[in-house]
Amino acid sequence: MLRITETVYIPWTELRFTACRSSGPGGQHVNTADTRVTLLFDVEHSPSLTQLQKVAVRGKLRRRMDKRGVLQVTSQKFRSQKTNKDSAVERFVELMQWALKPVVPRKETRVPKSAKRRRLDRKKRTAQRKRDRKLPDFSGEY
């Protein structure tokens, strides 16, 4: 079992791994070894998550999910497939912890009077500066 939070555990059987050739430098090794690892987790059909948790994960990690609701985490930092697999699992846990963290509602506060006063003073100074830039009216009338 993979521990995500205090209450959320995901069995290893729900995670699927695929390996393919990694891109980037590596010489002949990169052309022959399948070192890039993609972790796949089906959020939609996972019995380990409640409906509320699924909604939270879908909302925060939607860019990493496909249309069927499968979350994908890829790792290709290392030359070893096992190390990339461990890295993908570690990243998956971090992402799930972030997605399942409860949103703290914002506490509404008032704008302080001093901030309002500073804003209005700044507006008055700007308006005066613009008035001072204008050419005087030489129409001859006083």
> What span, in angstroms and rounded, lies between the C-alpha atoms of 10 and 48?
6
Assign residue 67 the CATH number of its domain: 3.30.160.20
Tokens of 35: 């070192």
Tell me the pLDDT band of 29, cut-offs 50, 70 and 90: low
In a domain, 110, yes or no: no
Query: Is the distance from CB of 7 to CB of 50 less than 8 angstroms?
Result: no
In a domain, 129, yes or no: no
Domain encompassing residue 63: 2-100
Task: Kindly report, residue by residue over 41-89, the tens digit of the pLDDT.
Answer: 988 888 888 888 888 888 888 888 888 888 888 888 887 788 888 889 9
Tokens of 57: 């994960």
Write down the pTM of the prediction.
0.67
Query: Is the distance from CB of 11 to CB of 17 less than 8 angstroms?
Result: no
In a domain, 122, yes or no: no
In a domain, 136, yes or no: no
Tell me the pLDDT band of 91, cut-offs 50, 70 and 90: very high
Task: Kindly report, residue by residue over 96-123, the tens digit of the pLDDT.
Answer: 889 888 888 999 999 999 999 999 999 9
Specify the number of domains making up the chain: 1
Place of tokens 């994960």: 57
In a domain, 83, yes or no: yes
